[in-house]
Structure 1
Amino acid sequence: MERIHSINPTRIAWCCADHGMTTGDLAAELGIAPASIERVMDGEGGMTFNQLSKLAEYFGRGVLFFLEPGPVDEDHVHTLAFRTLANQKPELTAKIKKFIERVEHQRSVFLSLRDELSNQDLPQFTAPDLPRDNPREAARMARGWLNLNGMNTFDTYRDAVEAQGILVFRSNGYNGKWQIAKENPILGFTLYDPACPVIVVKKQQWEPQQSFTLMHELGHLLLHRASSIDDENDMQSHRGLERDANAFAGHVLVPDEFLAGIDDTNRPGDVAEYDTWLDRERKAWGVSGEVILRRLLDSGRLSQRQYAAYREWRSNLVIPEGDSGSRAYRHREPKHIFGDTFVRTVLNALSGRYITLAKASSYLDGLKLNDLHQLERHYAGV
């Protein structure tokens, strides 16, 4: 079988270093003999086109990337937002890096389709001017900007953010390219862009946790006008930009007027009963008991000892593993992952014949033809 010998080994080496792997690891991933990879790296061997295609797909690059001469220009290959996230968390796994690049690709797809559909009323992002040194006032203004009311869930918070021209993606619970693994500490990230920012929220067992992540990332986006990637430690941080984002999220989800309605005289003595005490508020506001208690703590209405005891109790709870669920509604999964704005845009482009069925499928997590038509009927209300 004919082999391609004009492969640039420095680009393979750069990709391996970028993903924190050796050429031996790469050979195992691609199912190629290590000796064959080593000959390519020494400039003495070649690859079949199929092998080169597998290499390119694995690293998320085009085939031509590995045929071009010269070293990699990292500023050209990775966007500023990507480099910002990678610098914040140098320990990012190769899977998370690929995930970020796929998100950036989806945003490029969306912007391209939005240009094609310029005659349709799609939300445009215009950042409000919020005070960075006053999270309480910033949150008050943001709630007005988002048109939030007193009853919310993660879905209504997401819809409100998307209505302001921000794409909101949520990782998939199923194993695949749109999943952030359960054991990975990353909870969310934001890719700042003045024209079309993207917020990504990790799917978690409880939706109130996702609501806090969403508003934390929105805080970075609106207050700091910067990209950010966050884990559990960041969501509990009391320092710098993370402190600001946490305070902003807390005040958006539980503003002072909400907090005023909580009767401290009914607070139980046992921290194990706090969630029951706050059950009505948790359900109405779509938040966790911990977020409310944190606001009570910051307002001087709960002691640090009580808050710490509650967190200790929560950390020791045994949470049963959730059912993996049925994929009978496979056609709706793209909406759960990419949000309503993105999916509607793809479907409008398809109905306007700006893109093919094959393109629409690739943009919507590889939906099969039958599922794609089901999704169309779902949006048509049929």
Structure 2
Amino acid sequence: MERIQSINPERLAWCCADRGVTLAQCAAEAGIAAANLEKVMAGEPGLTFNQLRKLADFFGRGVLFFLEPGPVDEAQVHTPQFRTLANQKPELSARIKALIERVEKQRAIFLSLREELDDANLPRFAPPDLAGLDLPAAARTVRQWLGLRDTNDFETYRLAVEARGLLVFQSNGYNGKWQIAKESPILGFSLYDPECPVIVVKKQPGESRQSFTLMHELGHLLLHKTSSIDDDRDMYSHEGMEREANAFAGHLLVPDAFLKSIHDAERPAEAAGFDDWLAEQRKAWGVSGEVILLRLLDVGRLSRRDYDAYRAWRDQPVLVKEEVGGSRAYRHREPKHVFGDTFVRTVLDALNARHITLAKASTYLDNLKIKDVHQLERFYAGV
């Protein structure tokens, strides 16, 4: 096959540096012989068009990106939101950076489809006015804005946020391009956009922890109107915007009125029994025991010593069985799990209205097989 002569080696080098991979690693992961990439770097014809397309797919770029002359303009390649997250945590892994860009592309797809559908029923982001409110009042206002009931879990919180014009993605629990690795400290991130913000939540063994991450990120979007990426340390921070996002999430998930149902006289002497003591509330509110204990600490009903004892007990290593892949029987539901109800319904509506082809719908829905797309349609139709 004919080799392409005009591939820009400077752009290949930039992509490797941006992704944090060597040329050899790039070759192995993209499925291209290392010798061919070395030829490109030497300014020689080294790749066929199909190989160049593999390379472009690996880096999440278009084929033409590698054929353009001159150096890369990062301001054009990376969005302001991406640069905000990268500046917040310069140590971000290449995998997380790739995930951020992937999320941005999904949002662009959603906005394009929403515009084509011109459906007045699709939610639009119109945030509440929180100016001048303290954090408890802001949390009360947002709780009303979301229309939350007293009993919730992660899914009802997620649906409530999506109903207000945001997208909420959840990472896969097993290895794949939509996973935030188990060993990664990143728990979630948010991409601010006045038209359609996006929140990404890392899948965790307990969904109650995901609820806090979701509302923490919502706090950044509504209070600070900025993009943010957060790890374990941020969720316990007592400084700046992270402190505000934590307090906001705590008050939103566990309002002061909820604390009246907790009886201090029944609190166990040992921290190991706290989760059982709060089992009814944890289940009803869809939150972890720690979130409730922090609220009790805030209002002076729990000592710092008891809270620290609980943290020490909770942080003991626990063997968690790692997911190795989604069930094939439910593969058609995976896009709903990852991209949320709003995104999936929009893709299916666009398909039904013939704005996109079945092949496009498959691509937008994480490359579902055609039969799985049809099964997903039947699932939404209740068949």
TM range (shorter): over 0.9
How far the C-alpha of 1:317 sits from its partner, in A, is 4.9
Aligned to 1:123: 123
Structure 1 residue 367, shift from structure 2 partner: 1.2
Report the Cα distance in structure 1 between the residues aligned to 2:201 and 2:311, rounded to whole angstroms: 22
The amino acid that maps onto 2:311 is R
* C-alpha contact 1:23 1:37 (8 A) present in aligned 2: yes
RMSD over aligned Cα, in angstroms? 1.5
Conserved 8 A contact 1:88-1:229:
yes
Q: Compute the displacement of 1:151 (Å).
A: 0.3
Aligned partner of 1:345 in structure 2 is 346
Change beyond 3 A, Cα 1:355–1:280:
same
State the match for 2:269 in structure 1.
269
What does residue 140 of structure 1 align with? 140
CA deviations on 1:135-189 (whole Å, 9 max, x unpaired) are 1111011101001111000010001100100000101123211111111111100
Matched, 1:201 2:201: yes
- Secondary structure, aligned partner of 1:329: helix
Secondary structure of the corresponding residue to residue 365 of structure 1: coil
Residue 212 of structure 2 is matched in structure 1 by 212
Aligned to 1:228: 228
Aligned counterpart, 1:308: 308
2:257 aligned partner: 257
Q: Aligned partners of 2:323, 2:361: CA distance in 1, in Å?
A: 30
Contact persistence 2:188–2:231 (CA under 8 A): yes
Residue number in structure 2 paired with 1:153: 153
2:41 aligned residue: 41
Partner in structure 2 of residue 91 of structure 1: 91
Judge conservation of contact 2:204–2:210 (CA < 8 Å) in 1: yes
In the alignment, the residues of structure 2 paired with residue 320 and residue 22 of structure 1 have an alpha-carbon distance, to the nearest angstrom, of: 33
* 1:283 corresponding residue in structure 2: 283
**Amino acid aligned to 1:110:** F
CA deviations over 1:25-61 (Å, ceiling 9, x no partner) = 3233334444443332232343222221121111011
Higher mean alpha-carbon deviation, 177-186 vs 282-291, is at 177-186
Q: 2:57 is matched with which residue? A: 57
CA contact (8 A) 1:24 1:34 kept: yes
CA pair 133-145 structure 1, distance change in 2 beyond 3 A: closer
Task: Write the distance in 1 (CA, Å) between the matches of 2:27 and 2:98.
Answer: 19
Against the structure 1 CA distance between its residues 310 and 140, is the aligned structure 2 distance closer, same or farther, given a 3 Å change threshold? same
1:131 touches 1:137 (CA, 8 Å); kept in 2? no
Q: Does 1:364 align with 2:357?
A: no
Greater displacement, 46-55 / 70-79: 46-55
Partner residue, 1:169? 169
CA distance in 2, matches of 1:285, 1:194: 29
CA distance 1:338–1:31, shift in 2 (3 Å): closer
Q: Which residue matches 1:114?
A: 114
One-letter identity of the residue aligned with 1:184: S
Q: How many Å separate the matches in 2 of 1:369 and 1:47?
A: 31
User: Is 1:376 aligned with 2:377?
Assistant: yes
Q: 2:141 and 2:98 mapped to 1: Cα distance? A: 35
Q: For residue 198 of structure 1, what is the amino acid of its counterpart?
A: V
- Bigger mean CA deviation after superposition, 278-287 or 255-264: 255-264
Give aligned-pair identity as a percent: 70
Cross-structure match for 2:30: 30
CA contact (8 A) 1:192 1:227 kept: yes
CA contact (8 A) 1:201 1:213 kept: yes
- The 5 Å alignment of 1:172-191 reads 172-191=172-191
| Residue identity opposite 2:279 in structure 1 | D
Moved more, 40-49 or 215-224: 40-49
TM-score (normalised: structure 1): 0.97
Moved more, 24-33 or 102-111: 24-33
Report SS of the residue matched to 1:355: coil
- Which 5+ residue runs of structure 1 have no aligned equivalent? none
The whole-number CA distance in structure 1 between the counterparts of 2:36 and 2:346 is 45
Gaps of at least 5 residues in structure 2 are none
Change (3 A) 1:263 1:329: same
CA distance in 2, matches of 1:365, 1:120: 26
Moved more, 126-135 or 353-362: 126-135
Q: Comparing 261-270 with 286-295, which one deviates more in the overlay?
A: 261-270
Assess if the C-alpha contact under 8 Å between 1:85 and 1:229 holds in 2. yes
Q: Secondary structure at the match of 1:372?
A: helix
The range that moved more, 286-295 or 173-182, is 173-182
| SS of residue paired to 1:246 | helix
SS at match of 2:187: strand
- 2:344 and 2:30 map into 1 onto residues whose CA distance is 33
- Asked whether the 8 Å contact 2:174–2:322 carries over to 1, the reply is no
Aligned length: 382
CA deviation map 1:318-351 (0-9, x unaligned):
2442665633111111111111111111111111
Q: Secondary structure of the residue that 2:287 maps to in structure 1?
A: coil
Q: Deviations over 1:250-280 (max 9, x none)?
A: 0000000001221111111111110010010
Distance 2:335 2:232 in 1: 26
Equivalent AA in structure 2 for residue 155 of structure 1: E
